[in-house]
């Protein structure tokens, strides 16, 4: 552990002495940390804390789906997907599959099919611009 960042602020530590990383997780009996997701990415859906990756993983398992990103908007999940070339699947098809396989509170309120995700590329690779998708979800009135 370090006392701070070079030329930056002190390391954020909570009242119990834990490093406040912004990650959600749990510790095992042996004391190992099991990472779940970033706290800012977790969704509160009908009172349950849900990892977007859980819904994304389900969508990625569906035939024809090439990419998936789930964001929160107005207290609901909104899913954005891209399809494999030549895939014949609709947002309604995917929504029906979610209804039949996921807990009701995890079913996205809306699924949008995109030609491509908005991305940014940097030294850490290419990342989907979740903030832009959240704005789009809000505009859709999800």
Residue 130: per-residue pLDDT: 87
Give 10-residue mean pLDDT values along the chain (142 residues): 62 70 68 59 72 91 96 90 95 96 94 95 84 90 66
How far is residue 38's CA from residue 112's CA, in Å, rounded to a whole number? 23
Residue 6: per-residue pLDDT: 66
Contact predicate 71/133, CB 8 Å:
yes
Residue 47: per-residue pLDDT: 73
Q: What is the pTM of this model?
A: 0.72
- Domain holding 98: CATH number? 3.30.300.30
Neighbours of 9 (CB within 10 A): 7
Whether residue 5 is found in the same domain as residue 73: no
Provide the token pair at 130.
């979740």
Whether residue 33 is found in the same domain as residue 92: no
Whether residue 50 is found in the same domain as residue 5: no
Whether residue 36 is found in the same domain as residue 55: no
**Closest Cα to residue 89, out of 121, 66, 72?**
66
Whether residue 31 is found in the same domain as residue 58: no
Whether residue 80 is found in the same domain as residue 25: no
Burial class, 139, CB count within 10 angstroms (exposed 0-12 / middle 13-18 / buried 19+): exposed
Residue 86: per-residue pLDDT: 94
Provide the token pair at 42.
């977790």
- Look at strands 110-114 and 65-73 and give their pairing: unpaired
Residue 49: per-residue pLDDT: 77
Residue 108: per-residue pLDDT: 96
SS3 assignment, position 28: coil
């Amino acid at each position: 552990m370090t006392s701070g960042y070079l030329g930056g602020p002190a390391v954020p530590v909570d009242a119990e002495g834990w490093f406040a990383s912004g990650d959600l997780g749990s510790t095992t009996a042996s004391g190992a940390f099991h990472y779940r997701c970033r706290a800012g990415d977790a969704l509160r859906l009908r009172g349950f804390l849900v990892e977007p990756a859980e819904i994304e993983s389900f969508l990625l398992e569906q035939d024809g789906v090439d990419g998936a990103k789930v964001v929160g908007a107005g207290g609901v999940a909104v899913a954005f997907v891209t399809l494999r070339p030549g895939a014949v699947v609709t947002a309604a098809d995917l929504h029906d599959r979610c209804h039949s396989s996921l807990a009701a509170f995890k079913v996205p309120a809306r699924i949008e099919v995109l030609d491509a995700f908005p991305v940014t590329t940097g030294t850490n690779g290419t990342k989907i611009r979740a903030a832009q998708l959240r704005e789009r979800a809000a505009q859709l009135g999800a």
